[in-house]
Structure 1
């Protein structure tokens, strides 16, 4: 580039114009990354919540089935409920640890 202020692509005005044109694109990319990160976190939370409820329901349902088969109502249903609760809680901690490790690998700038 030459130092001639009239030639295209030279001078501070051109640099300023190019920076102004690039900033909105960078802001849009940052917004998209933030939205993607928020959507990822929300989908993970919903998945864990559904799995937690299903673990409890399956445990209690299996316990109820065993109780009806053996005629010991409500003992196995109670045991199944607490076993499902424990399994659901373990799964929640497992997924939270996975999510934290993934966020650590991405770094603070990646969302």
Structure 2
């Protein structure tokens, strides 16, 4: 009688081990899927950041050019020049944020150097 009981417990333990192994593999797959989704979110956030920086630089250049034209009276030239400068600044900001161009480093002025 105890042998039957031990065999039943062993079968039950083997069945529970198999179920636990299947649950663990399912959890590993879910974790892998979550990692891929998180990477996708990070990429989307980076794209939104870069595009907003680019568009903001262009808009600031256009607004400053418009204001300059209104107060100085240089018709389209202020807007054209500052719009182009805003575009260049936007491209430079995007390249810096993407890591393609190094950020400028200001040298520390030492008393012995002039």
Do they fold alike, i.e. is TM over 0.5? yes
CA distance in 1 between partners of 2:28 and 2:90 (Å): 41
Give the SS at the match of 2:99: helix
In structure 1, stretches of 5+ residues that fail to align are: 99-111
Counterpart residue number, 1:45: 47
Counterpart residue number, 1:65: 67
Counterpart residue number, 2:109: none
Counterpart residue number, 2:27: 25
TM-score by length of 1: 0.72
Matches within 5 A, 1:71-110: 71-97=73-99
RMSD: 2.2
Give the SS at the match of 2:29: helix
Max radius of gyration: which structure?
A: 2
In structure 2, stretches of 5+ residues that fail to align are: 1-5, 101-114
CA distance in 1 between partners of 2:98 and 2:90 (Å): 12
Counterpart residue number, 1:101: none
CA distance in 2 between partners of 1:82 and 1:16 (Å): 66
CA distance in 2 between partners of 1:97 and 1:16 (Å): 48
Q: CA deviation at 1:19?
A: 2.4
Q: How many aligned residue pairs are there? A: 93
CA distance in 2 between partners of 1:62 and 1:96 (Å): 26
CA distance in 2 between partners of 1:87 and 1:15 (Å): 61
Question: Which consecutive segments of 4 or more residues in structure 1 shift more than 6 A?
Answer: none
CA distance in 2 between partners of 1:31 and 1:93 (Å): 30
